[in-house]
Chains A and B, each alone.
Chain A
Amino acid sequence: MKKSFSEVLKDNTMIIVLVLVYLFFTWRTGGSMFQPMNFNALITQNAYVFILACGMLMCMLTGGNIDLSCGSFVCFLGAIGALLMALKGLNSWVAIILMLLVGIVYGCVLGYLVAYMNIPPWIATLAGYLAFRGIGTDILSNSSSTGSISVAAVPGFLNVFSGKLFSTKLGTLNMVCMGVGIVAAVIVVLLNIVSRATKLKKGYETDSMLAVFCKSVLEAAVIMLFTYKLAMAGGIPTVLVWVVAVVLFYSFITEKTTIGRHFYVVGGNREAARLSGVNTRRIMFLAYLNMAIVTVITTYVVLARFQAANSTAGTNYEMDAISACVVGGVSAYGGAGSVFGMVVGATLIGVINLGMSLMNIDANYQKVVKGVVLLGAVAFDILSKKNAK
Chain B
Amino acid sequence: MAKILLEMKNITKTFPGVKALDNVNLKVEEGEIHALVGENGAGKSTLMNVLSGIYPYGTYEGDIIYNGETCKFSTIKDSESRGIVIIHQELALVPEMTIGENMYLGNERGSKAKIDWVTTYSEADKYLKMVGLTESSKVLVKEIGTGKQQLVEIAKALAKNAKLLILDEPTSSLNEEDSRALLDLMLGFKKQGMTMIIITHKLNEVSYVADKITVVRDGSTIETIDNAGHDIDEDRIIKGMVGREITNRFPKREGVKIGDVNLEVSGWTVRHPLYPERTVVNNVSINVRKGEVVGIYGLMGAGRTELAMSIFGQSYGILTGGTLKLNGQEVRLKKSPTDAIKHKIAYVTEDRKGNGLILSQSIKVNTSLANLDSISNKTVIDKDREYQVAEEYRVKLKTKTPSVEQLVGNLSGGNQQKVLLAKWMFAEPEVLILDEPTRGIDVGAKYEIYCIINDLAAEGKSVIMISSELPEVLAMSDRIYIMNASRIVGEMKASEATQENIMAAILKSGRGD
* Segment at the interface with A among B93-101, B233-241, B318-326, B366-374: B366-374
Residues of A within 8 A of B356 (CB): 272, 275
Contact present for B355 and A271 (CB under 8 Å):
yes
Cβ contact of A257, chosen from B347, B361, B379, cutoff 8 A: B379
**A168 CB → nearest B CB, Å:** 39
Cβ contact of B372, chosen from A202, A258, A272, cutoff 8 A: A258
Residue B403 lies at the interface, judged by CB distance under 8 Å to chain A: yes
* Segment at the interface with A among B29-37, B208-216, B334-342: B334-342
**B392 CB → nearest A CB, Å:** 15
Contact present for B360 and A268 (CB under 8 Å):
yes
Also in contact, A274 and B372, with CB within 8 A (given A257-B380, A258-B381, A261-B365): no
**B403 CB → nearest A CB, Å:** 7
**B43 CB → nearest A CB, Å:** 31
Chain A contact residues: over half helix, strand or loop, or mixed? helix
CA distance A275 to B347 in the complex (A): 8
Tell me the residues in window 1-50 of chain A with beta carbons closer than 8 Å to chain B beta carbons: 1
Residues of B within 8 A of A336 (CB): 360
Q: In chain A, what residue has the closest Cβ to B349?
A: A275
Cβ contact of A335, chosen from B315, B358, B384, cutoff 8 A: B358
Residues of B within 8 A of A129 (CB): none
* Interface size in chain B (residues, C-beta < 8 A): 33
Residue B354 lies at the interface, judged by CB distance under 8 Å to chain A: yes
CA distance A269 to B358 in the complex (A): 5
Contact present for A276 and B369 (CB under 8 Å):
yes
CA distance A276 to B347 in the complex (A): 9
Also in contact, A279 and B372, with CB within 8 A (given A1-B403, A257-B381, A272-B357): no
CA distance A205 to B356 in the complex (A): 30
**A104 CB → nearest B CB, Å:** 21
Q: In chain B, what residue has the closest Cβ to A335?
A: B360
Tell me the residues in window 377-422 of chain B with beta carbons closer than 8 Å to chain A beta carbons: 379-381, 383-384, 387, 402-403
Contact present for A202 and B338 (CB under 8 Å):
no
Contact present for A276 and B381 (CB under 8 Å):
no
Contact present for B381 and A277 (CB under 8 Å):
no
Residue B423 lies at the interface, judged by CB distance under 8 Å to chain A: yes
Residue B26 lies at the interface, judged by CB distance under 8 Å to chain A: no
Contact present for B337 and A272 (CB under 8 Å):
no
Contact present for B338 and A269 (CB under 8 Å):
no
Residue B359 lies at the interface, judged by CB distance under 8 Å to chain A: yes
Tell me the residues in window 254-275 of chain A with beta carbons closer than 8 Å to chain B beta carbons: 256-259, 261, 264-265, 268-269, 271-275
The size bracket of the interface on A is 20 to 34
Residue B70 lies at the interface, judged by CB distance under 8 Å to chain A: no
The residue in A256, A261, A271 that gathers the most chain B C-beta atoms within 10 A of its C-beta is A261
Residues of B within 8 A of A261 (CB): 365, 369, 372, 381
- Of all A-B residue pairs in the complex, the 3 with the closest CB atoms, nearest first, are A268-B358, A271-B355, A277-B338
CA distance A273 to B355 in the complex (A): 8
Residue B161 lies at the interface, judged by CB distance under 8 Å to chain A: no
Residue A365 lies at the interface, judged by CB distance under 8 Å to chain B: no
The residue in B338, B340, B403 that gathers the most chain A C-beta atoms within 10 A of its C-beta is B338
Residue B376 lies at the interface, judged by CB distance under 8 Å to chain A: yes
Contact present for B361 and A268 (CB under 8 Å):
yes
Contact present for A277 and B337 (CB under 8 Å):
yes
CA distance A275 to B216 in the complex (A): 37
Q: In chain A, what residue has the closest Cβ to B387?
A: A204
CA distance A276 to B358 in the complex (A): 11
CA distance A336 to B357 in the complex (A): 15
Residues of B within 8 A of A256 (CB): 380-381, 383
Contact present for A259 and B370 (CB under 8 Å):
no
Tell me the residues in window 305-351 of chain B with beta carbons closer than 8 Å to chain A beta carbons: 312, 315, 336-338, 340-341, 347, 349
Residues of B within 8 A of A272 (CB): 354-358
Q: In chain A, what residue has the closest Cβ to B347?
A: A275
Q: In chain B, what residue has the closest Cβ to A268?
A: B358
Cβ contact of A259, chosen from B312, B379, B402, cutoff 8 A: B379
Contact present for A258 and B373 (CB under 8 Å):
yes
**B382 CB → nearest A CB, Å:** 10
**1/0 contact trace for B269-301 toward A, CB 8 Å?**
000000000000000000000000000000000
Other than the given A265-B358, A272-B355, 12 more pairs (CB < 8 A) read: A257-B379, A264-B365, A269-B358, A269-B360, A272-B354, A274-B337, A275-B315, A275-B347, A276-B423, A277-B427, A335-B360, A335-B361
Cβ contact of A277, chosen from B370, B380, B384, cutoff 8 A: B370
CA distance A261 to B376 in the complex (A): 11
**1/0 contact trace for A268-307 toward B, CB 8 Å?**
1101111111110000000000000000000000000000
Q: In chain B, what residue has the closest Cβ to A262?
A: B372
Also in contact, A258 and B379, with CB within 8 A (given A268-B361, A277-B370): yes
Contact present for A264 and B361 (CB under 8 Å):
yes
**A281 CB → nearest B CB, Å:** 10
CA distance A172 to B353 in the complex (A): 61
Selected A-B contacts with CB under 8 Å, 10 pairs: A1-B402, A1-B403, A258-B373, A265-B358, A268-B359, A269-B360, A271-B354, A275-B347, A335-B360, A336-B360
**A321 CB → nearest B CB, Å:** 23
Also in contact, A275 and B358, with CB within 8 A (given A1-B403, A261-B372): no
Residues of B within 8 A of A259 (CB): 379
CA distance A336 to B358 in the complex (A): 11
CA distance A16 to B380 in the complex (A): 32
Residues of A within 8 A of B379 (CB): 257-259
CA distance A273 to B372 in the complex (A): 12
CA distance A214 to B357 in the complex (A): 38
The residue in A202, A259, A264, A275 that gathers the most chain B C-beta atoms within 10 A of its C-beta is A275
Residues of A within 8 A of B340 (CB): 277
**B126 CB → nearest A CB, Å:** 41
Cβ contact of B355, chosen from A204, A258, A265, A269, cutoff 8 A: A269
Residues of A within 8 A of B403 (CB): 1
Q: In chain A, what residue has the closest Cβ to B373?
A: A258
CA distance A272 to B427 in the complex (A): 15
Q: In chain A, what residue has the closest Cβ to B410?
A: A389
CA distance A268 to B383 in the complex (A): 20
Residues of B within 8 A of A204 (CB): 387
Q: In chain A, what residue has the closest Cβ to B357?
A: A272
Residues of A within 8 A of B312 (CB): 275
Residues of A within 8 A of B380 (CB): 256-258
**B204 CB → nearest A CB, Å:** 36
CA distance A230 to B340 in the complex (A): 56
Tell me the residues in window 417-434 of chain B with beta carbons closer than 8 Å to chain A beta carbons: 423, 427
CA distance A161 to B336 in the complex (A): 44
Residues of A within 8 A of B359 (CB): 268-269
Q: In chain B, what residue has the closest Cβ to A202?
A: B384
Contact present for A265 and B361 (CB under 8 Å):
yes
CA distance A275 to B313 in the complex (A): 9
Contact present for B381 and A273 (CB under 8 Å):
no
**B350 CB → nearest A CB, Å:** 12
Residues of A within 8 A of B355 (CB): 269, 271-272, 274-275
